[in-house]
Chain A
């Protein structure tokens, strides 16, 4: 065989179909945009109709979006949205909820503690770690420069 590790990559590239970048970007823009729009509607409704302050409405909106996403994941619909929406459904907070609920569901057959509980943050773990770490840094900075 005339191929080796160096020249084989070119052959692989030649035969591997490219991902549909433009279409994926447009769909991500639409799906991500719609999710954010729903968030804005929920947020503004809290402020306008329930007289809740903007500061308090924001976390409540997040909780509701997370709840909806968890429900859709449980019903087996979120992965279908994700297939079309791509990054548009992964990046918003609903995608984060999906990444927590999907392993929780998948590992429930191995038991509640060693299955679900041990694996629930399998995908979200890095997000949580870096989230905690960056808030720690932000906290330090705000303490120093206050």
Chain B
């Protein structure tokens, strides 16, 4: 079996051939501003709703990734995508136009590594040669679904995070050159009873710790960089504390996409960025380029998700967390 502990071993080459990232205006002004392939000017991008803007981002990310690499639909075996909206609207409606065999998945903000992990296993299993993985999130469409109307005057909690407007399409292939996915650990749901929807970082941190710990224990790989998806300042602090308490500190080589994508102080994002687009955009631009340039050789990339339901939350339920790890090596 291609498995060690709870981690799947990708034995054959699964190469991350290329990426394409599109982000919103605010993200385009952040610390990674020159790293993205495209920055859109406003919340609507010529569409008449935020939801339509989000699916256009997903569709365009895939189309531009294909064009950039002269890929045609005949060469692509599968599209795996997901997003935050009800019925994963952005993914399904983007897939409608893309005319590719499609699997839609929901993993909240953990979707990027969920799609890439599934893609890697399908390629390693010999079922596919080329797969495109894509996720997206949009600040406005997420706010209106999960929180309050945008024009409602009020104050955001200091622990709240800012949903990233962004999308990234990733091309996985069994041939060519590029960083390779070596290990995949799908996390289990960990829920330590956080009910505060304004503190997602704290809700996800135990799941992130659990998956990271499992992955590191299973593989024994000494990573150059460990990156979580969107824990923000609070979740990142908690993960560090948990590892330190076990005397397995990762602090010197650990970072979080939610704290990388924004300038936390200047951009007024409180605890940092979040959303499916957060880890997707940071990986597709900043981290992927670091791997290509050999600045890092071994990356543990872990998208983190808060499987939050506003309905369940009102019924007194807490917020289940999940995290999926990808061990990527040059």
Q: Which residues of A contact B (CB under 8 A)?
A: 1-5, 8-9, 11-12, 15-20, 24, 73-74, 76, 78-83, 85-86, 89-90, 95, 98-99, 101-103, 105-106, 109, 122-123
- Chain B residues in 8 Å Cβ range of A103: 149, 152
Interchain CA distance A83-B238 in the complex, whole Å: 28
Do B159 and A79 have beta carbons less than 8 Å apart?
A: no
The reply to whether the CB of B296 lies closer than 8 angstroms to some CB of chain A is no
Interchain CA distance A23-B212 in the complex, whole Å: 39
- Chain A residues in 8 Å Cβ range of B248: none
- Chain A residues in 8 Å Cβ range of B158: 16-20
- For B209, the closest partner residue in chain A by CB is A1
- With A2-B245, A8-B192 as given contacts, are A82 and B152 in contact (CB-CB < 8 Å)? yes
- Chain B residues in 8 Å Cβ range of A12: 194, 199, 202, 234, 238
Do B242 and A83 have beta carbons less than 8 Å apart?
A: no
Do B159 and A16 have beta carbons less than 8 Å apart?
A: yes
The reply to whether the CB of B150 lies closer than 8 angstroms to some CB of chain A is yes
Do A86 and B202 have beta carbons less than 8 Å apart?
A: no
Interchain CA distance A39-B71 in the complex, whole Å: 64
- Chain B residues in 8 Å Cβ range of A82: 152-155
B28-51 interface with A by 8 A CB criterion:
48-49
B26 to A: closest C-beta gap in Å = 15
Do B150 and A79 have beta carbons less than 8 Å apart?
A: yes
**Among B48, B151, B190, B213, which residue has its beta carbon within 8 angstroms of that of A76?**
B151
Interchain CA distance A134-B245 in the complex, whole Å: 54
**Among B144, B202, B242, which residue has its beta carbon within 8 angstroms of that of A1?**
B242
Do A106 and B202 have beta carbons less than 8 Å apart?
A: no
- Chain B residues in 8 Å Cβ range of A90: 153-154
- Chain A residues in 8 Å Cβ range of B241: 11, 15
Rank and list the top 4 A-B pairs by shortest CB-CB distance, nearest first.
A82-B153, A5-B193, A102-B151, A102-B149
Residue-wise, chain B 278-294 has the 8 Å CB interface mask toward A (1 for contact) of 00000000000000000
The reply to whether the CB of B148 lies closer than 8 angstroms to some CB of chain A is yes
- For B240, the closest partner residue in chain A by CB is A15
Do A15 and B237 have beta carbons less than 8 Å apart?
A: yes
**Among A5, A15, A73, A74, which residue has its beta carbon within 8 angstroms of that of B202?**
A15
- Chain A residues in 8 Å Cβ range of B193: 5, 8-9
- With A8-B193, A11-B238, A15-B237 as given contacts, are A1 and B210 in contact (CB-CB < 8 Å)? yes
The reply to whether the CB of B119 lies closer than 8 angstroms to some CB of chain A is no
The reply to whether the CB of B266 lies closer than 8 angstroms to some CB of chain A is no
- For A86, the closest partner residue in chain B by CB is B155
Interchain CA distance A110-B154 in the complex, whole Å: 24
- Chain B residues in 8 Å Cβ range of A3: 192, 206, 242
- For B191, the closest partner residue in chain A by CB is A5
**Among A8, A79, A109, A122, which residue has its beta carbon within 8 angstroms of that of B48?**
A109
Do B194 and A86 have beta carbons less than 8 Å apart?
A: no
Do A123 and B202 have beta carbons less than 8 Å apart?
A: no
Interchain CA distance A79-B210 in the complex, whole Å: 39
Interchain CA distance A105-B153 in the complex, whole Å: 13
Listed residue (B151, B153, B202, B271) with the most chain A CB atoms within 10 angstroms of its CB: B153
- For A89, the closest partner residue in chain B by CB is B153
Interchain CA distance A81-B199 in the complex, whole Å: 24
- Chain B residues in 8 Å Cβ range of A1: 190, 206, 209-210, 213, 242
A63 to B: closest C-beta gap in Å = 19
- Chain A residues in 8 Å Cβ range of B157: 19
B161-220 interface with A by 8 A CB criterion:
190, 192-194, 199, 202, 206, 209-210, 213
B274 to A: closest C-beta gap in Å = 15
- Chain B residues in 8 Å Cβ range of A15: 202, 234, 237-238, 241
28 A–B contacts from the bound complex (CB under 8 Å): A1-B209, A1-B210, A9-B193, A11-B238, A11-B241, A12-B202, A12-B234, A12-B238, A15-B238, A16-B234, A17-B271, A19-B158, A20-B158, A73-B151, A74-B151, A79-B153, A80-B153, A82-B152, A82-B155, A85-B153, A90-B153, A98-B151, A98-B152, A98-B153, A99-B152, A101-B151, A109-B48, A123-B148
- Chain A residues in 8 Å Cβ range of B150: 79, 102, 106
- For B213, the closest partner residue in chain A by CB is A1
- With A83-B155, A109-B49 as given contacts, are A8 and B148 in contact (CB-CB < 8 Å)? no
